[in-house]
Structure 1
Amino acid sequence: MMFARCHGTRDIAEVYRRLGFLTVSCALDRVSLVASPKLGAVVIPPESGPGIRDRLLADSRCRSAPILSYARPGREWVFVVGPSWGRGFAEPTLSALEAHGVRVLVAGQRIWLPMSDNRVGWYWITPPVDAESLPYRTTVIATVRDHLEDLRTQTAGA
């Protein structure tokens, strides 16, 4: 249990700091990270989440895939990611992803973190191992694109 000994937001923030998330902050009695070029999130529709998670974890280069969601039906999956390789993403790539309900959080946006081991509010679908084991943002986006392409191919062939 990740938060068994926590008695408040400061204790919970300390758990995340021990995992290496040094930029965790407390605001409005909530614990969050602020997206930056080194740490971010890719938000994915729930129907695509399991397939993308399975693809990522099948890749031997991906040591973990921390994913969180909110405890309501149909809520998006938030993949916590590390930095990108190379340059940023071209506008056509981001637009194509957005057309499928995929969003890449930009620097300055908050990533609200789970504060309980129960599925109340924000919860971990797959908890983080540590901040050093995050998948690259580029890897997650490439995996999303492959998944969407496979879905398109399956739909066209049906």
Structure 2
Amino acid sequence: MFESCCSTHESAHLLRARYGLPVEMFADRPLITIGAAIEALTLPEPLARQVRLRVSWVPSAPAIADPRDRRWTFLVAPPLPYHAVPQRLRRFLQDHGVTIPARGSRILLPTSDEPSGWHWAGEPEPGRLCLPHRAVLLAAVRLAILQGPDRVPA
């Protein structure tokens, strides 16, 4: 995907044009800021793979992997009207290594197809940005945790 890009600015332009992501540049790196349009869930890689299988029916569940594939960050649409994730659920998720970045947090975006850098673990659908609802991903995460690592959906 990024083979034609010669700079991070070209990568940012490609991410905006291809996926409709609200990309910003900070310290010469493309990123998105968590807010009214986009939220995120960050999971340990083994759990993220289980969740990915559970939401395979969702047309676009974009996920960004860190350079060593230890954690994946799923991009999700916040609920309308907005409401925060209940504290009890937040604690349950944190106990299993799941974090929900706060509004204003910055998420680095891929600039290369190489797994040695930030890369797509699940690429978004090209076109207008269409993210899965936060509730869909949270339900998949809860199920994956409760059913354990050896259970994958049929």
TM range (shorter): 0.7 to 0.9
TM-score norm. by structure 2 comes to 0.87
**Cα distance in 2 for residues equivalent to 1:97 and 1:85:** 22
Structure 1: runs of 5 or more not aligned: none
SS of 1:88's equivalent in the other structure is: coil
SS of 1:104's equivalent in the other structure is: coil
**Cα distance in 1 for residues equivalent to 2:79 and 2:137:** 10
Aligned letter for 1:76? R
**Cα distance in 2 for residues equivalent to 1:85 and 1:51:** 27
Alpha carbons 1:37, 1:84 under 8 Å: kept: no
Hey, which of these two has a bigger chunk of helix by percent? 1
Amino-acid identity (%): 30
Alpha carbons 1:43, 1:103 under 8 Å: kept: yes
Counterpart in the other structure of 2:53 = 54
Residues 114-157 of structure 1: per-residue CA shift (max 9 Å, x gap): 101111211111111145331111111111011111119x7xxx
Equivalent of residue 93 in structure 2, options 88, 93, 97: 97
Structure 1 segments, 4+ long, off by >6 Å, are: none
Higher mean C-alpha deviation, range 117-126 or range 103-112: 117-126
**Cα distance in 2 for residues equivalent to 1:139 and 1:54:** 13
Counterpart in the other structure of 2:130 = 133
Counterpart in the other structure of 2:30 = 31
**Cα distance in 2 for residues equivalent to 1:70 and 1:78:** 8
**Cα distance in 2 for residues equivalent to 1:137 and 1:11:** 30
Counterpart in the other structure of 2:142 = 145
TM-score norm. by structure 1 comes to 0.85
Aligned letter for 1:7? C
**Cα distance in 2 for residues equivalent to 1:88 and 1:138:** 11
Q: How many residues align?
A: 148
Structure 2: runs of 5 or more not aligned: none
